[in-house]
Amino acid sequence: MRDRLGDLQVFISESPEEARPSEENQNPENAEPPELFMFDGEDEMDRIYKEAQLMQKEMLMLKLDVKRLGKQNARFLTSVRRISSIKRDSNALGRDIKARGEAIYARLEKLGKQSRELEEEHGATSAVARMARSQCVYLTKAFHEAMCEYNTAEMLQRENCKTRIQRQAEIMGKEVSREQIEEMIETGKCSLFSDNLLLEGRSARSALTEIENRHKELLELEGRIRDIHELFFQMALLVEEQGCKLDNIEANVGQTRDYMAEASAQIKKAVRYKKNNPCKKLLCCCFPCCR
């Protein structure tokens, strides 16, 4: 990486006055800073940016919930007794995640709709349509990642529970395979341990309690996953629809077309801008009614 800004400044300071373009002296408006040109759809983009920011915040909250769930799950593994000071239990977190997820998804859908409307209004190759579409892709990807994190957290807990059950069963002198545990989850029954067991001794009894707790947890976990299935399905649908090209930079640039400005409209806007220069922020309100 080579910084050449210094070289540029040296060049400018050293080059004679005549070498610089004379257009500077010709243009009487030169004294003013270059005019800012509002591009077609800028106010709509501002709204989309705001919405995107809010969605990002929501996704952050979702990810935090997922982390909390992870911690929660880990606690259940390491403690034998329930810690009564735990503020929220896994199911409540699961419900929270589901609600937030569904809300974000609804917003994503809405954003997608807005993006399509912008495409229709300004053209698919217009700057605003491409900006909106990119935001959709970006947010979809972020949300997808967040949901996958949730799935991973739950699956991790699942594996840990199964391992714990196996170990506890060993303590009780019984070997349990992973498939048997899967069956337990599916049928919901913990019938494995009702026969031929050495239930003597405290360790055996506490092992049994432990197994029953883990089993209960597994069933609740399965419940949470079933509950959120619809959301995963919708996410998958969305990702599938988008395909791989929308996130690909080359494909995006390939989509761009030469901008054909409508000359008269531009002049109108420029004139309006010049007149209202000091209060250009207020134009945001004026614009829609002037279309």
Partner 1 sequence: LITCNFSSAPFSEILNGVIKSVKKDGEWKVLIVDHMSMRILSSCCKMSDILAEGVTIVEDINKCREPISSLEAIYLISPMEKSVKALINDFKDTVFTYKAAHIFFTDACSDSLFAEIGRSRVAKVIKTLKEINVAFLPYESQVFSLDNPSSFKSFYGSRPCESKDRMIENMAEQIATLCDTLKEFPAVRYRKGPEDNFKLAKEVSSRLMAHKADNPSMGEGADKARSQLLIVDRGFDPISPVLHELTFQAMAYDLLDIKQDIYTYQTTGVGNSKQREVLLDEDDELWIQLRHQHIADVTKKVTELLRSFCESKRMCTDNANIKDLAQMLKKMPQYQKELTMYSTHLHLAEACMKTFKATVDKICEVEQDLAMGTNADGEPIKDPMKSIVPVLLNNDIGPFEKIRIILLFIFHKKKGIGEENLTKLIEHANIKNHSTIITNLQNLGCNIIGRNTGNTLPVRKERTESTYQLSRWTPVIKDIMEDAIEDKLDTKHTSNPSFTFLTLCSSARFGHWHKNKSPTEYRSGPRLIIFVIGGVSHSEMRSAYEVTRSTDGKWEVLIGSSHILTPNGFLNDLKSLDQESESEQSRTIVTL
Q: Is 42 in the site for partner 1 (CB under 8 A)?
A: yes
Q: Is 89 in the site for partner 1 (CB under 8 A)?
A: no
Ranges within 46-65 binding partner 1 (CB under 8 A): 49
Ranges within 250-279 binding partner 1 (CB under 8 A): 250, 252-253, 256-261, 270
Distance separating alpha carbons of residues 133 and 148, to the nearest angstrom: 22
**∠240-242-244 over CA atoms, to 5°?**
90
Distance separating alpha carbons of residues 178 and 249, to the nearest angstrom: 45
Q: Which is nearer to partner 1, 171 or 239 (CB)?
A: 239
Q: How far is the CB of 173 from partner 1 (least distance, A)?
A: 27
DSSP 8-state class, residue 256? -
Among 38, 61, 171, 219, binds partner 1 (CB under 8 A): 38
Q: Which is nearer to partner 1, 130 or 214 (CB)?
A: 130
Distance separating alpha carbons of residues 74 and 66, to the nearest angstrom: 12
Distance separating alpha carbons of residues 202 and 80, to the nearest angstrom: 14
Q: How many residues does the chain have?
A: 291
Helix or strand or coil: residue 167? helix
Q: Which is nearer to partner 1, 70 or 207 (CB)?
A: 70
**Orientation of helix 178-187 relative to helix 202-227, angle to 10°:** 60
Interaction pattern, residues 145-174, with partner 1; x per rule: CB under 8 A: --xx--x-----------------------
Element housing 54 (H / E): helix 42-78
> For binding to partner 1 (CB under 8 A), which residues are involved?
1-5, 7-8, 11-12, 15, 19-21, 23-24, 27, 29, 34-40, 42, 45, 49, 126-127, 130-131, 134-135, 137-138, 141-142, 147-148, 151, 182, 186, 229, 232-233, 235-237, 239-241, 243-250, 252-253, 256-261, 270
